[in-house]
Amino acid sequence: MNIKITGTGSYIPSVVQKNDNFLNHYFLNDDGSDFKNDNTVIIEKFKSITGISERRYVTEELTSSDIGFFAAQKAIADANIDPETLDYIIFAHNFGDIENGNIQSDMLPGLGARVKHLLRIKNPKCVAYDLLFGCPGWIEGVIQAQAFIKAGIAKRCLIIGSETLSRVVDKHDRDAMIFSDGAGACILEATEEDGGILAHETASYTFDEAYYLSFGKSNNQDLDPNTKYIKMDGRKIYEFALTHVPAAMKACLDQSGVDIKDVKKIFIHQANEKMDDAILKRFYRLFKTPIPEFIMPMSIGNLGNSSVATVPTLLDLVKHNKFENHSLNKGDVIIFASVGAGMHINAIVYKY
């Protein structure tokens, strides 16, 4: 028995937010002081570091569970399965449903239960729950699902990663330009076909690193300090990722028994173009091997960082030949890897 992804789906929001849309934003330093540079310079520097020129936001009437449902529908159709046969629905997110204009997160009921409701699944033995694990949440959901299948308590699972980060960013913080909205999903099931998950690796670094990403007050000191937004220490996250993610990827690949030269694609969480490029370089340096051309598709330039949704969305786009210069063929070995709030890291080696 092998455990494989048999279907994928994604939802890319329709609202395009270009960098120029931030030209009139009132950006402030962490302490509330003004920047010396105007927004043109701030945005140019931002683009050179992150690689982001635009990102996607959901329309006003949609929430994270809505777009997670859309991605789930596509994954179910792609796998050509009856949703009543699902044993688990695992919904990875970080902020629940936040309605437009509302500062409160809504997670009652959980988003997994909401998607099961929207899918109109009657089977009570289809267990739906939420997973909060930072940006690596979707990958961790896949790891959990394969454990259920290996243990014999499930045969087929739906794993969703969805987020509407546009609703939790501080408009006075430059980091607001990084984040975006989106959803991706997959069906994971037991199969007699060759391939599937070959190895996985997960670690949580919380002793000194737990609050590199956190919830904090606006940079605008005049706003209510009790209203919180995503805050991150970009420098520490960058250094953490470069130290730990390549090592985790190597440990996972070593465990799989696959030679580095046989890896065809690497799907890294789309956090920051400069950081992801550096992770890739350090990973290949560990093997003293040159980086192959077209090994790592990148969507952050036009989709931004949608947290748990970046990896499944990227997989879905490449799987369905919607990504220039990238495709997947039967038997290809691929690596999934992510880093995020916690600080958590994980990786999967997978044979397509």
Q: Residue 326's closest CA among 241, 264, 246?
A: 264
Sorted by where each starts, the structural domains of the chain and their CATH numbers stand as 2-193 (3.40.47.10), 198-351 (3.40.47.10)
- Band (47; pLDDT cuts 50, 70, 90): very high
Mean pLDDT of 78-102: 96
DSSP state of 36: S
Mean pLDDT of 35-62: 91
CA angle (132 as vertex; 131, 134 as ends), nearest 5: 130
Percent of the chain with pLDDT over 70: 100
Percent of the chain with pLDDT over 90: 84
Say which residue, 254 or 41, is predicted with more confidence: 254
What value does the mean pLDDT of the chain take? 94
Mean pLDDT of 63-75: 98
How far apart CA 115 and CA 165 sit, in angstroms, is: 19
Mean pLDDT of 182-205: 95
- Band (23; pLDDT cuts 50, 70, 90): confident
pLDDT for 34: 84
pLDDT for 226: 87
- Band (234; pLDDT cuts 50, 70, 90): confident
- Band (92; pLDDT cuts 50, 70, 90): very high
User: Would the pLDDT of 225 be above 90?
Assistant: no
Residues 277-304 have pLDDT tens digits of: 999 999 999 999 999 999 999 999 999 9
Say which residue, 131 or 31, is predicted with more confidence: 131
- Residue 212 tokens read as 């590199």
Q: Residue 337's closest CA among 279, 288, 286?
A: 279
Mean pLDDT of 72-89: 98
User: Would the pLDDT of 24 be above 90?
Assistant: no
User: What is the C-alpha end-to-end distance of the chain, expressed in Å?
Assistant: 15
Establish how many alpha carbons lie within 13 A of residue 276's alpha carbon, considering only the half-sphere containing its beta carbon: 25
Residues 115-158 have pLDDT tens digits of: 999 999 999 999 999 999 999 999 999 999 999 999 999 999 99
pLDDT for 345: 97
pLDDT for 25: 86
pLDDT for 269: 96
Judge contact between 236 and 214, C-beta under 8 A.
Answer: no
Say which residue, 42 or 56, is predicted with more confidence: 56
Say which residue, 125 or 37, is predicted with more confidence: 125
